[in-house]
Amino acid sequence: MIKLLRSFPETFRNNEAFLILCVQVFVLHIGQSLIVPILPLYAQSFSVSVTLVGFLLTMQALPRVFANIPAGQLADRYGAHRMLAIAAATVTFSAIAGALSPNYVIFLLTRIVQGVGTAISQTAGLTYAANVSRPESRGRSISLFQGSFLLGNSIGPLIGGTVAQYYGYRAPFWVYAALSILVGVWMLFRLPDPRIAGQASARHKPRINIWVAMRGMLGQTGVLWACIIGLVVAYTRSGSRDLALVLLGKNIGLTESQIGLALSIIFIMNVIVLYSAGTLADRYGSKAVIVPSLLLTGVGLWLLAIAPQYTFFLLAASVYGLAAGISSPVPAAYVVEVVDEASQGQALGLFRTFNDIGLVFGPALMGWIGDRAGMSTGVFVNAGIVILVAAIFFFFAPSKVEKATMASAESHI
């Protein structure tokens, strides 16, 4: 944490645009994470099954699978700053509609709209961070960027859980809408165009078919492995953290504010280790960071599944948060290393697509297992998947990848 805080002044003094990006991401993610501890509970207020609660989270992620690559392409062409403003407007609308939802179907539709908005926000934000960072410190820059929104995420759940406990499940959505409006207006007038001079020609690049571009990028070993890891991490986050953790907490008698505190602890642990993870990746390579972080994630999930009471539950959340913080920034930095600067948005859009495929399957599978065998069983299964992927990645993924350009990738199509 000390290293993370000490890195802020130098980084932000040399890059004002990066400072503005991190501040707006911090505020916006306070809003986004406000609804995390109450989303499954709010959905259950419409008298639906756990499977349908999981389906709600799945449908929130599904449109992101199709929105990420177009968002990245538009960020390359028109500027990530404009896409971030559009994202804020989209999630503002979804938050207001969510607060006013009269039934499960309408609420489901609002989550789909939010999925589009968050896809644009996350892809454009990563693209912006990549555009304004230096290659030799890109892992640390992306760590700082992710640390900013995770810091917002660490504050949001505790506030959201407390607001919901005293004012009802709809109240956090109104707070979310207010924060989104403020951030969107500020970004529109204050955030500069992040594209470097060498990327000016990107505005006039010929349009490439999305599926052709995907096939070309997946032909690069580094991009493919980063996408696989991103899928597994996102599957774990959506199935075990966003759904199972909330319901497991309810099963052992925790209040909404106690569940919110557990989620906040996860995000706080993410922030504490993020910068160190980026530094280690810059120094020793991404593989040396990814493998142990996935193994530790499996341990954290196992502890969550067996937690008998509140203190143990918080301990398990801390272990999982530590592991997730180590693994979060590294795959994205790995993607940026292996594509040319004019195509970073498109490549990160593909990476985010695989992330969101994990978000689609995570809640649905977790809800299905939960209805049949209990939430603890679902988390045990998730832990096994993470450990298995870590082992496969250790034995088969290359330790280092060579820098490639999209031009060379497209030549193989």
- Domain ranges in the chain? 2-410
Residues 289, 326: contact at Cβ < 8 Å? yes
**Record: fold of 2-410:** Growth Hormone; Chain: A; (1.20.1250)
Percent of the chain with pLDDT over 90: 6
| 390 in Cβ contact with 327 (< 8 Å) | no
Q: For the chain, what percent of residues have pLDDT higher than 70?
A: 80
pLDDT of residue 215: 62
Q: Are 241 and 263 in contact (CB under 8 A)?
A: yes
User: Using CA atoms, how far apart are residues 157 and 167, in angstroms rounded to an integer?
Assistant: 15
pLDDT digits (tens, 9 = 90+) for 290-318: 888 899 999 999 999 898 888 999 999 99
CA distance 286 to 272: 19
pLDDT digits (tens, 9 = 90+) for 311-323: 999 999 999 988 8
Summarize pLDDT for 39-98 with one digit per residue, the tens: 888 888 888 777 787 777 777 767 777 777 777 778 777 777 788 888 888 889 988 998
d(CA 93, CA 89): 6
> Rounded CA gap, 37 and 244, in Å?
11
3-state helix, strand, coil in the chain (%, to 5): 85, 0, 15
The span from the CA of 56 to the CA of 364, in Å, is 8
Contact (CB, 8 A) for 105 and 48: no
For CA atoms 349, 355, 361, 367, the dihedral sign is negative
